[in-house]
C-alpha cells in the first residue's frame, strides 16, 4: 500500500527529526498538545536510536486513599495531563485536580471539587489552562459543575461564577427543567482569547438533556453564546426534525473535545447521536446537527459550515474524538484541512474554510425496514478514500477461528441475528453492529507535520436487540420494584442476568460480597467511571435497586405509580420532559466467545498510518496482545485500546491503552515496535511529552481497571544521562 509519495514523506520526516535541536524546556500546554489537536511534538531527544534505553523518571500515586474500601479506584483514569511553565496538571479517579513538578513528580497542591458538594462522578480526560499576567487558571468539569482553580495555589477562583463554580446546566433549560438530568463534560473545553468553548456529556436515553455547545467568559463565567445543536424555530436545520422537537429531544452533544484555528478564529468539533440511541420514531428527518463536523466562529458561536456523517442516526455512531487541523497537499496545492476520524472507521478530510471533502464521498441506498414507527434515512455516506481503518460488517466468514469451540459458539449467534449491512436498522430479532466501541475512540489520533495520520482502531461486534416499551412494561409489572428499576436503568449495560460483558462492564451478580450496601448506594447515586450518576431517581428508587442487587427483595411488589414510571427515569421526577421512546434496549453487549475474546477473527486492535496527502495507507499493524493466546501459537491478535497515540520528532509513536497494560513505541516509518514497558496498571489514556532542564519526558496515566486490576499512577519516562 505504500506509495512513492508516502516513502518520500517518511524520508523527509526522518531527516527533519534529526535536524531539530532539542529544547531545554518545552511544555504540553493544551489537551492534544496544541489547539490544532495534533498530539505531535517536535522534541527528538528520545528517538529511534536510543528509545530502547528509556527508564522510569518518576511515579506519582494519585489514588485517593481516604475513599472507603478503595472502590473508587476500580475504573481507569482517562486524563491526558498538560504541562505549563514546568508544572504538570491532571486529575485522578475521584476527580481531584493536582499540580506536580513536571521534572520530579512531586505534588505541589491538590484540589477536591466535592469538598462541599455531593459527589457526582464522571470520566475526566483533561483540563484547560488560561493566564493573563499573574492570573492563572485551570478549568475542568466534575459532575454537573465547571470549576475555575488558581493554577498557582489550587484554590477556587472565587470571582468566577459563584465562588469558582459554574453550573453546566446553564443555558440548557430553555424549554424544560433539566436540573435532575445527567450533564457533565468528560473532555476539556478549548480557549479562544477570553472565551472558553465547552461541550457536554449527557444521557443517551429518552431522558437526555440537549447537547448545546456554549462559550463562557473565562474571567466571570458569564455565558457569551450558545449554539443549539437541536435547532429552534427560525434556525438552520429546524426543518430536519419534527416541529418543536427541540422542546423534548436531547443528545446531539459534543462530548469528545474541540480543535481551534486561532488565526481564523474558528472552532471545529463533532457531535453525537440524538436521543434516544437506536430508536428514532419520534424524530423524523436527518436530525441536524447530530453526527456532524461543525465549524463555528469562536467569538460569536455563529456557524460557518457543517458536514453530517450519519443521517438520522440509529446506531450510536457519535463523532468520538476531537478533530485535528493539518495542511495537506491535494491536487498539487496546499490545503488547510480539518481531519475527523469516526467510530465506524472512516477518515473525513475536509477543507477548513468550506467543509467540502477533499476525497470523493458517495451517498448510497441503505436498508430502510425499521421497527414500527421508525423512519430510517434511505441514503448514507461512503467515503472512497481513505479506506476504512476498521471492519464495516461482520459476515459469516469473519467468525472467530482461534479455536473450533469458539467458532461454534459464535456461529450460533450469527445464525439468529442480522449482520450483512452496517446500516441495518435495529430490530427485536437482533442485529450485529460494528462501530460502537470504535473504529476510532475518544483517544483520537496523532498527525505529523507531513500529513501522516496515526490512528489506533478497535474491531469488535456488538449484539443489539430491542423491545417495545409496552412489552417492557409488562415485564416490569411482574417484577419486584428494585428488579423493575434495574431492568430499565441498569440492564442495557450490565445485562438482564447482571453478568456484564466480563471485561469492561463488570458482573453485578456477587457485588454484595465485594462492596458494602452503603458503598453500592453511593455508586448508584454518584456514578463511577463510565456509569453516570442516578440522582434523577428518587432515594427510595435507588434503595430498591441496591436491595435487588444484594438479593434482599422477596417476590413481586405492588404496582405503585412510582413503579410504573420505571420506563423512563426522567418522567419520575420531571413532568416537563415527557419523551419515552416506543422501543428500548433489551440486549446490548459485546459479542465474545465463551472465554471472553472478541467473536470475530483478529486483528481486534490495530495501529494505522495513513497519508492524508494521498489517502493511501503507509502501514497497518496489530496493537496489543493477549499473552496467553500468543503462547498457544496464535499470531498477535491486537486488543481493544482506549487512549490515543503521541507522535514525536524523534520518529516515534507512543501509545498504550491495550489490555496487556503496556506502553509501546513504534517506528513511524514501518510500524515496528521498538520499545515497550509493562505499566503498573493499564494506561487507558493518551501519553504526553515535554522537556525540562534539557531532558525530554514521556508521561502517561496508568489508572488501570476495565475489568483488569485497578491503579492510580502517573508514570514519566526519561533517557539515562549517557543518551542525552
Percent of the chain with pLDDT over 90: 73
Number of domains in the chain: 1
Q: How far apart are CA 439 and CA 458, in angstroms?
A: 5
CB atoms within 10 A of CB 553: 18
Q: Is residue 536 in a domain?
A: yes
Q: How far apart are CA 489 and CA 131, in angstroms?
A: 42
> Region 202-220: what's the mean pLDDT?
94
Sequence-ordered list of residues with C-beta below 8 angstroms from that of 155, at least 6 positions apart, any chain: 111, 149
Sequence-ordered list of residues with C-beta below 8 angstroms from that of 108, at least 6 positions apart, any chain: 87, 98, 99, 100, 101, 154
Q: Is residue 393 in a domain?
A: no
Is pLDDT above 80 for 715? yes
Predicted confidence band of residue 259 (pLDDT cuts 50, 70, 90): very high
Q: Is residue 505 in a domain?
A: yes
Which three cell numbers, joined as nine digits, stand for 409?
Answer: 459458539
Which three cell numbers, joined as nine digits, stand for 328?
Answer: 495537506
Cell 511534538 belongs to 41
515-540 core/surface letters (b: 16 or more CB in 10 A; e: else): beeebbbbbbbbbbbebbbbbbbeee
CATH value at residue 550:
1.10.760.10
Is pLDDT above 80 for 496? no
Is pLDDT above 50 for 571? no
**pLDDT score, position 180:** 84
Predicted confidence band of residue 553 (pLDDT cuts 50, 70, 90): confident
Predicted confidence band of residue 76 (pLDDT cuts 50, 70, 90): confident
Is pLDDT above 50 for 575? no
**pLDDT score, position 12:** 45
> Region 533-550: what's the mean pLDDT?
80
Q: How far is CA 233 from CA 15, 237, 243, in A?
A: 56, 9, 9
Q: Is residue 165 in a domain?
A: no
19-28, 355-364, 431-440, 583-592: which has the minimum mean pLDDT? 19-28
Q: How far apart are CA 58 and CA 65, in angstroms?
A: 20
Predicted confidence band of residue 512 (pLDDT cuts 50, 70, 90): confident
Is pLDDT above 70 for 10? no
> Region 263-292: what's the mean pLDDT?
97
Predicted confidence band of residue 108 (pLDDT cuts 50, 70, 90): very high
Between residues 409 and 564, the one the model is more confident about: 409
Cell 457543517 belongs to 306
Is pLDDT above 80 for 302? yes
Beta bridge partners of 89: 82, 99
Q: How far is CA 546 from CA 336, 437, 475, 522, in A?
A: 54, 28, 20, 10
Give CA 121 to chain center in angstroms: 16
Predicted confidence band of residue 453 (pLDDT cuts 50, 70, 90): very high
Is pLDDT above 50 for 526? yes
How confident is the model over 164-200, as pLDDT tens digits? 999 999 999 766 778 888 999 999 999 999 999 999 9
Q: How far apart are CA 689 and CA 716, in angstroms?
A: 9
Range of the domain at 496: 465-590
> Region 463-468: what's the mean pLDDT?
95
> Region 6-32: what's the mean pLDDT?
64
CB atoms within 10 A of CB 45: 22
**pLDDT score, position 489:** 77
Averaging pLDDT over each range in 10-24, 248-262, 491-505, which range is the top one?
248-262
pTM of the complete model: 0.92
Q: Is residue 510 in a domain?
A: yes
Q: How far apart are CA 669 and CA 28, in angstroms?
A: 24
Q: Is residue 570 in a domain?
A: yes
Q: Is the distance from CB of 113 to CB of 97 less than 8 angstroms?
A: yes
CB-facing half-sphere around the CA of 478: CA atoms within 13 A: 4
**pLDDT score, position 625:** 97
Is pLDDT above 90 for 206? no
Is pLDDT above 60 for 73? no
**pLDDT score, position 482:** 82
Residues constituting the chain: 724
**pLDDT score, position 538:** 79
Which three cell numbers, joined as nine digits, stand for 205?
Answer: 436515553
Q: How far apart are CA 492 and CA 55, in angstroms?
A: 43
**pLDDT score, position 51:** 98
CA-based torsion, 706, 31, 266, 199: positive or negative: positive
Predicted confidence band of residue 570 (pLDDT cuts 50, 70, 90): very low
8-17, 322-331, 381-390: which has the minimum mean pLDDT? 8-17
How confident is the model over 117-136, as pLDDT tens digits? 888 889 999 999 999 999 99
Q: Is residue 575 in a domain?
A: yes
Please, what is the average pLDDT of the chain? 89
Q: Is the distance from CB of 650 to CB of 43 less than 8 angstroms?
A: yes
Q: Is residue 188 in a domain?
A: no
**pLDDT score, position 691:** 98
Is pLDDT above 70 for 504? no
**pLDDT score, position 561:** 38
Predicted confidence band of residue 22 (pLDDT cuts 50, 70, 90): low
Q: Is the distance from CB of 181 to CB of 536 less than 8 angstroms?
A: yes
**pLDDT score, position 706:** 81
Amino acid at each position: 500500500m505504500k506509495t512513492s509519495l508516502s516513502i518520500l514523506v517518511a524520508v523527509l520526516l526522518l531527516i527533519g527529526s534529526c535536524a531539530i535541536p532539542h529544547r531545554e524546556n518545552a511544555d504540553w500546554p493544551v489537551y492534544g498538545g496544541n489547539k490544532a489537536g495534533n498530539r505531535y511534538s517536535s522534541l527528538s531527544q528520545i528517538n529511534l536510536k536510543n528509545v530502547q534505553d528509556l527508564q522510569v523518571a518518576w511515579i506519582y500515586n494519585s489514588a485517593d486513599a481516604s475513599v472507603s474500601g478503595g472502590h473508587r479506584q476500580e475504573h481507569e483514569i482517562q486524563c491526558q495531563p498538560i504541562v505549563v511553565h514546568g508544572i504538570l496538571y491532571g486529575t485522578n479517579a475521584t476527580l481531584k485536580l493536582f499540580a506536580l513538578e513536571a521534572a520530579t513528580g512531586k505534588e505541589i497542591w491538590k484540589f477536591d471539587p466535592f469538598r462541599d458538594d455531593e459527589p457526582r462522578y464522571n470520566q475526566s480526560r483533561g483540563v484547560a489552562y488560561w493566564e493573563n499576567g499573574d492570573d492563572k487558571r485551570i478549568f475542568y468539569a466534575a459532575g454537573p459543575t465547571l470549576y475555575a482553580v488558581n493554577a498557582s495555589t489550587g484554590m477556587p477562583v472565587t470571582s468566577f461564577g459563584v465562588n469558582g463554580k459554574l453550573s453546566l446546566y446553564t443555558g440548557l433549560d430553555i424549554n424544560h427543567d433539566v436540573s435532575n438530568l445527567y450533564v457533565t463534560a468528560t473532555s476539556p473545553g478549548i480557549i479562544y482569547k477570553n472565551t472558553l468553548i465547552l461541550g457536554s456529556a449527557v444521557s443517551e436515553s429518552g431522558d437526555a438533556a440537549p447537547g448545546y455547545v456554549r462559550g463562557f467568559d473565562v474571567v466571570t463565567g458569564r455565558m457569551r453564546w450558545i449554539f443549539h445543536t437541536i435547532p429552534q424555530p427560525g434556525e438552520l436545520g429546524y426543518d430536519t426534525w419534527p416541529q418543536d422537537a427541540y422542546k423534548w429531544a436531547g443528545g446531539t452533544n459534543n462530548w469528545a473535545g474541540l480543535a481551534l484555528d486561532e488565526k481564523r478564529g474558528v472552532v471545529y468539533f463533532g457531535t453525537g447521536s440524538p436521543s434516544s440511541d437506536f430508536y428514532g420514531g419520534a424524530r423524523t428527518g436527518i436530525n441536524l446537527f447530530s453526527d456532524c463536523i461543525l465549524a463555528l466562529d469562536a467569538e460569536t458561536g455563529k456557524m460557518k459550515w457543517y458536514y453530517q456523517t450519519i443521517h438520522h442516526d440509529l446506531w450510536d455512531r457519535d463523532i468520538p474524538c476531537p478533530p485535528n487541523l493539518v495542511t495537506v497537499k491535494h491536487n498539487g496545492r496546499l490545503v488547510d484541512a480539518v481531519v475527523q476520524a469516526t467510530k465506524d472507521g472512516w477518515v473525513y478530510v475536509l477543507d477548513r474554510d468550506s467543509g467540502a471533502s477533499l476525497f470523493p464521498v458517495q451517498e448510497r441506498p441503505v436498508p430502510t425496514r425499521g421497527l414500527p414507527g421508525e423512519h430510517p434515512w434511505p441514503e448514507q455516506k461512503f467515503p472512497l478514500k481513505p479506506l476504512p481503518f476498521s471492519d464495516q460488517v461482520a459476515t459469516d466468514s469473519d467468525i472467530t477461528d482461534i479455536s473450533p469451540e469458539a467458532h461454534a459458539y459464535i456461529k450460533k449467534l450469527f445464525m439468529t441475528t442480522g449482520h450483512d449491512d452496517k446500516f441495518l436498522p435495529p430490530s427485536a430479532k437482533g442485529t450485529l453492529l460494528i462501530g460502537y466501541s470504535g473504529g476510532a475512540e475518544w483517544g483520537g489520533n496523532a498527525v505529523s507535520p507531513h500529513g501522516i495520520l496515526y490512528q489506533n482502531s478497535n474491531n469488535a461486534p456488538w449484539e443489539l436487540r430491542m423491545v417495545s416499551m409496552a412489552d417492557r412494561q409488562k415485564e416490569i409489572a411482574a417484577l419486584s420494584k428494585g428488579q423493575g428499576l434495574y431492568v430499565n436503568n441498569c440492564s442495557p449495560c450490565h445485562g438482564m442476568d447482571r453478568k456484564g460483558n466480563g471485561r469492561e462492564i463488570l458482573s453485578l451478580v456477587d457485588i454484595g460480597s465485594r462492596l458494602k450496601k452503603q458503598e453500592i448506594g453511593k455508586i448508584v447515586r454518584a456514578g463511577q467511571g463510565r456509569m453516570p450518576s442516578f440522582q434523577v431517581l428518587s432515594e427510595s428508587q435507588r434503595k430498591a435497586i441496591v436491595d435487588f442487587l444484594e438479593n434482599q427483595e422477596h417476590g413481586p411488589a405492588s404496582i405503585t405509580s412510582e413503579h410504573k414510571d420505571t420506563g423512563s427515569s426522567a418522567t419520575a421526577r420531571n413532568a416537563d420532559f415527557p419523551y419515552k421512546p416506543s422501543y428500548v434496549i433489551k440486549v446490548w453487549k459485546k459479542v465474545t466467545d465463551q472465554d471472553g475474546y472478541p467473536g470475530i477473527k483478529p486483528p481486534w486492535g490495530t495501529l494505522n498510518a495513513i497519508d492524508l496527502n494521498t489517502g493511501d495507507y503507509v502501514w497497518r499493524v496489530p496493537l496489543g496482545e493477549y499473552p496467553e493466546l500468543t503462547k498457544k501459537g496464535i499470531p498477535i491478535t491486537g486488543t481493544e485500546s482506549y487512549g490515543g497515540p503521541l507522535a514525536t520528532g524523534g520518529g516515534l509513536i507512543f501509545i498504550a491503552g491495550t489490555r496487556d497494560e503496556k506502553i509501546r513505541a513504534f517506528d513511524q516509518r514501518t510500524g515496528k515496535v521498538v520499545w515497550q514497558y509493562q505499566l503498573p496498571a493499564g494506561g487507558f489514556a493518551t501519553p504526553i511529552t515535554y522537556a525540562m532542564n534539557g531532558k525530554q519526558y514521556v508521561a502517561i496515566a496508568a489508572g488501570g481497571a476495565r475489568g483488569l486490576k485497578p491503579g492510580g499512577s502517573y508514570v514519566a519516562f526519561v533517557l539515562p544521562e549517557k543518551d542525552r
